[in-house]
Amino acid sequence: MRKINVFDTTLRDGEQSPGVTLNFEEKVEIGTQLERLGVDIIEAGFPATSEGDFQAVKRIAELVKDSSVTGLSRSLKKDIDASWEALKAGAEPRLHVFLATSPVHMKHKLNMTEDQVVETAVDSVKYAKERFPKVQFSAEDACRSDLDFLVRISEAVIDAGAEVVNLPDTVGYITPAEIQHIFRYLKENIRNVEHANLSAHCHDDLGMAVANSLAAIEGGADQVECAINGIGERAGNASLEEIAVALHTRSDFYKANTNLTLNEIKRTSALVSRVTGMQVPNNKAVVGDNAFAHESGIHQDGMLKEKSTYEIITPELVGVSSNRMVLGKHSGRHAFSEKLKELGYESTAEEVTKVFKAFKSLADKKKEVTDEDIFALMTEEKIDSTHTYYEMQALQVNYGTTYIPTATITMTDPEGEPIEEAATGSGSVEAVYNTIERIVGEAIVLKDYRIQSISGGEDALAEVFVTVEFQGEESSGRGTAHDVLESSAKAYINAVNRILARKPNQAGKTEKANV
């Protein structure tokens, strides 16, 4: 079996998904979960673009010990220096430096000749190797580049010290047969290829990112770059979970595997979905709610007789358990603490106390509290426990089909002073949001509103995700509660708090790299 390294770019390319903005705590939580998943390389961000990205990459590098943490860098010394400062405390600091190699990029974007591109790439790799033990070079838009030029620049950067050469399908243009040919050609023609791994990074513009990544492995790729739930720029990246399970299920064909802990897949997918607000489609392969559901009578009959008739992946393989232990209002703190450990959380006593209080409150309203409920409560506590400028103390909504909906809210302001206001609206949610706007004293524009249940049943937790514009900035917010109006209010307040939290540390607009 050939070992394939998994390079996860959820925190870098994934965060470039339109409408997604992760805060410091969310990035750290995802980073530590990716380590539990067993990802070989975690691309934690683009340190040179903003102070926020720099600090998040730095913290993840300090915390993560079982995965190599890397940051993206342009072929500029200032970018490389910033990345080193962010990553130097890591267990295995690694740099991911890129430069475009396709004719269209070299001519119209870089205004450079082939010789100049090779010289710049080599200089960047040499400069990076003075600091980093591991350096990866990416030939941006490689799949629209001349093959002989790819051979030339790959040989040059490997001689300069690059341990990985990444060949991204930056615009999602390639087909499986073509990318397989590219990797085979480079494996056969790069004279020093034995000194470096070749990596594939595929985008999903034509819906072929996973197929192309697997074809690249057939062609000799040693590493695949992907993202949880396939999130990323434009149509997204190759889905990590689909590649991993395909290699596992069809190991007879690919003769390759990964070091991933596959039963952490579902939990990782749920975390990324929750903090980004990007809901996983029900029919999504491997992690969708319908991935293991069988509606057809013929299928159900076959499943009852022998599961392998219609199920090639077991739910347990990816962490979906059909035997979920539930806790209730009579469960004690010890049982709750053990459940957190069982779910993989390393929690402080203070975190346990806060979440246990929320759990008991929920258990009074809900007969059974599931793993998904506890996961939601714990995620909210670990990620949203800081930067609370406004906090809701009480909410009252009056609604009737023949009455104007009215909301009354008591909140504490940034100085901790209580404020009570009331407002009306054409609906209950609008009344709640108009009231919050009165308390804040500034216009808040709702751009997007989504609601979903955490688990099944009439007493399920409600999770609301919003996008708002406030003080000239756009931000997402998330709220979880047993009541949909309470979760709606929490999400709105959370979005406002996130914008206020960013204000003191603004370091200019974040640049995005389309690698």
The pLDDT confidence band at residue 348, using thresholds 50, 70 and 90, is: confident
When the pLDDT of each residue in the chain is averaged and rounded to a whole number, the result is 90
Spatial contact of 78 and 100, defined as CB atoms under 8 Å apart = no
Q: Could you list the residue range(s) of the whole structural domain that residue 25 is in?
A: 2-276
Who contacts 329 (Cβ-Cβ below 8 Å, separation ≥6)?
A: 360, 363, 364
Asked whether residue 286 is domain-assigned, the answer is no
Q: Judge if 343 and 409 occupy the same domain.
A: no
Q: Judge if 395 and 364 occupy the same domain.
A: no
Q: Judge if 46 and 154 occupy the same domain.
A: yes
Asked whether residue 328 is domain-assigned, the answer is no
Whether pLDDT at 344 is above 80: no
Q: Judge if 133 and 265 occupy the same domain.
A: yes
Q: Judge if 203 and 296 occupy the same domain.
A: no
Q: Judge if 379 and 396 occupy the same domain.
A: no
The predicted-structure confidence for 241-286, as pLDDT tens digits, reads as follows: 999 999 999 999 999 999 999 999 999 999 999 889 899 998 999 9
Number of structural domains the chain divides into: 4
Concatenated DSSP letters for 172-232?
S---HHHHHHHHHHHHHH-TTGGGSEEEEEEB-TTS-HHHHHHHHHHHT-SEEEEBGGG--
Asked whether residue 485 is domain-assigned, the answer is yes
CA–CA separation, 128 vs 137, rounded Å? 10
Q: Judge if 13 and 76 occupy the same domain.
A: yes
Q: Judge if 360 and 237 occupy the same domain.
A: no
Q: Judge if 61 and 188 occupy the same domain.
A: yes
Closest alpha carbon to 72 in 276, 238, 233: 233
- How large a percentage of the chain has pLDDT more than 70? 92
pLDDT for 508 equals: 36
Q: Judge if 358 and 483 occupy the same domain.
A: no
Going 343 to 347 to 351 to 352, the CA torsion angle's sign is: positive
Q: Judge if 24 and 43 occupy the same domain.
A: yes
pLDDT for 159 equals: 98
CATH of the domain at 198: 3.20.20.70
Asked whether residue 161 is domain-assigned, the answer is yes
Asked whether residue 170 is domain-assigned, the answer is yes
The predicted-structure confidence for 426-446, as pLDDT tens digits, reads as follows: 999 999 999 999 999 999 999
pLDDT for 310 equals: 64
Q: What is the pTM of this model?
A: 0.85
